[in-house]
Every structure is written in C-alpha cells, then in structure tokens.
Structure 1
Amino acid sequence: MESASALMERACLQTELAAFGDDSFREGLEVLVKALSAQAGLNAVGTASMEMQIVDMLSQRLQVEDWYRRHPEIDEQEIVAPLICLGLPRTGSTALACLLGEDPEVRSLRNWECMAPCPPPDAATLGNDPRLARAQETMERRARLFPRMTAMLPSTATSPTEDQLLMGHDFKSQLFQAFAHVPDYVEWLNHEADLVPTYRYVKRVLKLLQWRCPPNRWRLKNPSHTLFIDALDEVFPDARFVMTHREIVSVLPSVADLYLELHKAYADEVDLVAIGRQTADFCELGMRRMIAFREAGNGGRFFDIQFAPFQLDPFPIIEDLYAFAGETLGAEARARMEAWRCNTPRDAGYQRTDMAEFGFEAGALRERFQFYSERFGIT
C-alpha cells in the first residue's frame, strides 16, 4: 500500500491541481492507509483497488476546491431544512429514498453525480451529461464483481445514493470498513474523529451540485449518520429526520452479509466473526447515540417508519411524511412513485449466509438490542 503522501501526489498529477482545501481530511487518510497496510490483508486486486479509490476521492476533492476557487459565488447557495433518512442499515431506507427521489420537486444525491460531482451538473444539459453513461458502466462492472451485492442493493446511475462517498472525500466514512478489515480506523472513526468538518464538506458539495441544477429541497439518506448525529446537527441545525426501523435479527445478518460480499473481493481470507462483531458494535453505538439525541429535546424533528407496513403499502406513510414536512404529495410525484414500485422487485433472491457464521444468535441479538426494540415498538 502506498503512503498517504504518495497517494496525494498521484491525485495532484492526475488532476494538475494542488489545493485540497481544509486539512481536515489528512488525519483520516493517514489512519486509513496505516490500517489498510497493517490489518486488512489485502490481495493484489484489493491493494490496487483501494489505492485507486483513495486517489479518486482525493482527485474529486481537488476538483471541488478548484470550482470554488474559480466561482466563489457557489458558497452563497443555501441548503435549507433537508429531510435526512437515517437509522439502521437494511431497514428499507433505500426503497424510501428511491420513492422520494421520484418527486420532480425535490432533489436527491444521485449515483452518477456523487461519483463525479465536477463539473457541477447543469439543468440545461442534464440528460446528455456523459457521466451518466460512465456511471452506468461502473455500476455494471460492480455487478459483475459483486453479484450478490447487486441483488441486495439494486441501483442505477440515476438512483438516489448515500453521501458516504462525499464523506469519504474527507476520509471519515463507513465506506472504508465496508470494503476492508480496518479495526484501528473504525475505532478512530467511531470514538475519536471530529465529523463536523466532514459534514461541512458534504454541505459544500451539495451547494456545488444545486448551484446550476435545482430543485433545492434536498432528500438525503445515510444510515451511518446515527453514529455522528451531534456533528450532523451542528452543520444542519434545521434538518428534519426520517428514521426507518426493522426487527434486529433481520437487520444485522443482512448488513454483515453485504460487508462479506465486498471484503472477499479484496482479501483472500475474511474473518466472518470479526465482521459480525463490528456490525453489532456500530449498530448498537449508533442506536444509543440516536436515542440520546432524540431524548435531548429533538424528538419532534423525527418521523418514524416501520419496515413491515411500509413494505405492504408505502403510500399512506409517505403522505403522512409529506404532512410532517409541511408539504403535499402531488399527483405527478405519486404516479412516478407508483411506477417505480411496480417496476422494482422488492425481494430479489440471493443466497444468504447463515447468521451463525458471523457469530450471531437470534436470542442474544434480541436481548442485546432490547433497548432499541422497546423504545421504537419493534416486534
């Protein structure tokens, strides 16, 4: 694994740029590279792939800062009262984000623009942007590399996506632990890292993306925000939140299985029990932090969605969500949402890994997360 400084130099050569902006990314980059080198057990493909991902993130950061240098007026953009979906992973948040993203009056973070935010999208040329085709090619390549993951998380170049990749530009993101065994980085991220600069950077990119491409009513989604809710709130103090819920025995094995699919492409030996332990630890930590935040006077900012009734019929719930946000679900938006639901399979078949291989046992999981299931009435 190349050093952090060598990877930064590659990004500078690739873009012919040198200004990375705020130095907040440097500590995370150093911690990540050390963990990848010492702990991840990457094979040749894994090493090359992780280096390429890091260089690409650094390159994107350089380009974002260059656009701000040439167009300082971008910073005058405002991100007002975003609606942010969070909660445990694998609880229906992807389907919710895709349904909400069908509303032509709102703005989602789309896969293709998250992969390459520069040049910032322009409404006048949106349909002909060459990044659409490049992003679709990338996703098709990923589908060949990670066939089970594609079944777990069906997506297209234009689908709404999480801001994990943008957080990755600041090297404080759960994205990296999904690809590799990096326990030192995970410990630093969850207990020591300052995420306020990270969320400021995410807001910086959102301003860039909406600058020439409205609408500006953002719908965002990222389960890992539960871990960093206080920092998120400091940067987006007017945000409102949607929290999705599902029975814990359905959640944790599915999250661990997703991590397994990614890990095994980059390392010849994968410790499934370590994946299971890490998954349970961050889910518990995130839920305890989230409950504390809600009980500190923020409960009124949350709208809760239970998985089973949402799967059965999402539209009464979405109508209530719009009312919570002070909005009305329009006829066109509903029709587009209904078309998406009709054309999207809700139970893609794939071979699931036995939860016992991750060290999970149903009764023990339910007992450990009883504080969560009782707080939100999950059965």
Structure 2
Amino acid sequence: MGLVDDLIDEACSATGLGDFGGDSFREGLERVTRALQAEAALNAIGQAALRGLMVGSLKARLHIEQWYKDHPETDDAPIVGPLIALGLPRTGSTALAGLLAEDPDIRYLRRWEAAELVPPPASVKESPDPRLLRQIEIQSRRSELDKALVPSFPNGPQECHELMLLDFKAHYFECFAHVPSYAQWLLEADLTETFQYMRRALKYLQWGQPAKPWRLKNPNHLGHLVDLDKAFPDARFVMTHRDPTEVLASVCDVFANVASRFNDTVDRRYIGAVNATVLTTGMTRALAFRDDGNDHRFHDIDFRAMQRDPISEVRGLYDWLGEPVTPAFEENMRRWWQENSADRVRVKHSDPADYGLDLDAIRPRFAEYLARSARWTSHADSALADAARAHPTDPSASVAGDAV
C-alpha cells in the first residue's frame, strides 16, 4: 500500500490536475492508509483493489474541481428537499429504494454513475452511456451468493458510499479490511465537510439535466445525522424498521463475503464487533436527532408492511411528502416488484456466535429504539391485518428471503 503522497501524486500525474478543492479529505486518507498498512491482512488482490479505489476517488475529485472551473454555472442549480432513506440492511430498504427509483419525476444515484463518477452523465453523447454497458457486464459476473446478499442492478439505485469516499470518510473501508483504528476514528469524526462535498458532487452529477428532487440512501448516515443536516438542512427522511438483532448476522455475512476476497485472513469477531458498534451507536444518535426537534422530518415504515404491500407503503410516503403517485410511477412500481420479487434466492445466514455476537446481550442496547419504532409503525399491524383479510392467498404480496 503506497503512502499518502504517493497516492496523491499518482492521481495528479494520471489526470494532469492538481486542485482537490481543499484538503478536507487528507486526514481520512492518512488514517485509512495507516490502518491498512498496520492492521489489515490484505492479499495481492486486496492491495491492488484498495489502491485503485483510493486513487480513483482522488482522480474523481480532481476532475470534479476542474469541471467546476470550466462550468461555474454547475453550482447554481439547487439541491432542494432531498429524501434520504436510512433503513438498516434487511429492513425493506433495498426494495423501497428500488421502487422509488421507478418514479420518472425524481433523480437517484445510479449504480453505473456511482462506479464511474466522471464525467457528468449529461455531457456524454453516446447512448447508452458506456459506463452502463460496463456495469451490465460486471453485474453479469456476480455470483448467486453476491446477488442474494447484496441485490444490485446496473441502472438501479446505489447507496452514496462513493460520494463519501471523495472525502475519505466512509464506512465502506470497514467492509473491505480489518481497520479498527479507522473505524473508531470515523465513528467520532466530524463529517460536515464530507456531506458538503457530497452536495457538490450531486450538483456535478445533475448538470445539464432537468431539476428533479434527489432520493438517496445510506444506512450509515444514522450515526452522522447532525453533520448531514448541516449540508442538507431541508432534507426529509424515510426510515424502515425491524429488530436490528434479526439483521446483524446477515450484515456480517456481507462483510465476511467481501473481506474473504481481499484478505489473507478474515477476523469474524472484528466484523461482529464493528457492526454491532456502528448499529447501536447509529440508532442512539438517530433517536437523539429525532428528539432534538426533527421528528417531524421522518416517515416510518415497518419491514412486515413493506413485504406485505409495498405499493401502499410508497403511497403513504408520498402522501406524507405531499407529492402524487402518478399512474406511470405506479405502473413502473408494479412491474419492478413483479420482476424482482420472483425467484429470489434464499440465503441461510451464519450463526451470530460465529461473529462473537450474543444477541441476548446485545438486544437491550436496542431496547429504546425497539420501543420507539413500535410506536412509529403502530399503524402497520392493523393495516397488515386488513390486507391479510382482503388478500388471504395473494402469492405476489411477499418477497422470498430477507434481503430487501
């Protein structure tokens, strides 16, 4: 793993550029590089992949800054009232993001553009964008386990990890390698500049396109809502709910699956510990943020309700937003749900003990959240009962597995 200056020099040399738009990224880059060198057990594939990821993020930041110099009008287009999904993995959040992306009147971060941020999509004259074709080819090589653990579609919605990587403050790295010092630092770090740069990147991506409200998603935002609010003070949030102890082993399986490719050894106890800490800290901070005069900015959806009648849940969300569910949007959602709820692969998840997790000991740490979420989604129980009576044997009403 190269030193920080080596990575920066490589990015500058490759692009012929040198302006990063400030150096807020440098501390994160220094800390993650140090952790990867001192703590991780990366194999040759992992070393190449992580170096490529970091140099790629530096190059993207250089190109974004050059774009702003050449096109200063990019900053004039506003980012107004984004809707940010905060549901934990396996709570219906992936399905919700997929359904929301079917609204033709919104903008979301597409998988192919997140993978290759440069250049802005509207500046590309080829159709389809070559990046989409490359992503289709990449996705075609994914294993069945990968698809089951992390559903992903070339033109579908992507969590905004890549945008946070531009400032090198992203929980992404914890999935790739054993980096406990970086993980601990990140949990306590100030991410204000990270989210401000994310806003800058969103303006860059929407350049040359009609203004549409953004729909974003990232479960890790739960732990950093105070900083996120500084960059997006008019954001509203949709939160999907489920007992976190029901999803912990599944989340850890995702981490272990990724880490096994890039490391000589996989420390499952570290994976269990870091995920338990991130989830409990995130939930505690999210409750505090809601209590601090922000509860009205949240709409809540129960996991079971999302499984049972996702279209109705989206309608409820849009009623709350004060926006219509157009006939085209509803038709798109029904098509998406039919296509993506069929033939889902069931995954047998690991025993939590494999990751050093004692769920009986962890569950009390989520007691306050569970009590609150039960109240926030209390309407779901009666709605589910009504739906069950109305459609007692509807085979299209649920999704196989819990990877939604």
Which interval holds the TM-score relative to the shorter structure?
over 0.9
How many residues align? The count is 375
Alpha-carbon contact 1:46-1:266 (below 8 Å) kept: yes
- Cα distance in structure 2, aligned partners of 1:110 and 1:263: 24
Distance 1:262 1:124, change over 3 A: closer
- Structure 1 residue 286 corresponds to structure 2 residue 316: no
Alpha-carbon contact 2:77-2:211 (below 8 Å) kept: no
Alpha-carbon contact 1:248-1:365 (below 8 Å) kept: no
Deviations 1:125-175 (A, max 9, x none): 57421111122233344x25xx52321122121111111111011100011
- Cα distance in structure 2, aligned partners of 1:70 and 1:303: 40
SS in 2 for 1:244: strand
Q: How far 1:352 sits from its partner (Å)?
A: 2.1
Match of 1:368 among 355, 365, 369: 365
Letter in 2 for 1:338: R
Q: How far 1:216 sits from its partner (Å)?
A: 1.7
Give 1:58's aligned residue.
Answer: 58
- Structure 1 residue 273 corresponds to structure 2 residue 259: no
- Cα distance in structure 2, aligned partners of 1:112 and 1:214: 20
Give 1:296's aligned residue.
Answer: 292
Greater CA deviation, 239-248 or 87-96?
Answer: 87-96
SS in 1 for 2:86: strand
Give 2:395's aligned residue.
Answer: none
Letter in 2 for 1:268: D
Match of 1:244 among 240, 262, 275: 240
TM-score, normalised via structure 1 length: 0.95
Deviations 1:192-222 (A, max 9, x none): x221111111100111111212342111111
Letter in 2 for 1:259: F
Matches within 5 A, 1:256-267: 256-267=252-263
Match of 2:333 among 332, 337, 356: 337
Unpaired runs of 5+ in structure 1?
none
Q: How far 1:362 sits from its partner (Å)?
A: 3.2
Deviations 1:221-246 (A, max 9, x none): 11111111001001100011001111
Matches within 5 A, 1:80-229: 80-122=80-122, 125=125, 127-141=127-141, 143-144=142-143, 147-191=144-188, 193-229=189-225
Q: How far 1:355 sits from its partner (Å)?
A: 1.5
Give 1:316's aligned residue.
Answer: 312
Give 2:347's aligned residue.
Answer: 350
- Cα distance in structure 2, aligned partners of 1:127 and 1:306: 39
- Cα distance in structure 1, aligned partners of 2:296 and 2:102: 26
- Cα distance in structure 1, aligned partners of 2:24 and 2:353: 39
Alpha-carbon contact 2:7-2:55 (below 8 Å) kept: yes
- Cα distance in structure 1, aligned partners of 2:355 and 2:37: 24
Match of 1:307 among 299, 303, 327: 303
SS in 2 for 1:303: strand
Letter in 1 for 2:15: T
Q: How far 1:64 sits from its partner (Å)?
A: 0.8
Letter in 2 for 1:91: T
TM-score, normalised via structure 2 length: 0.89
Same amino acid, percent of matched pairs: 44
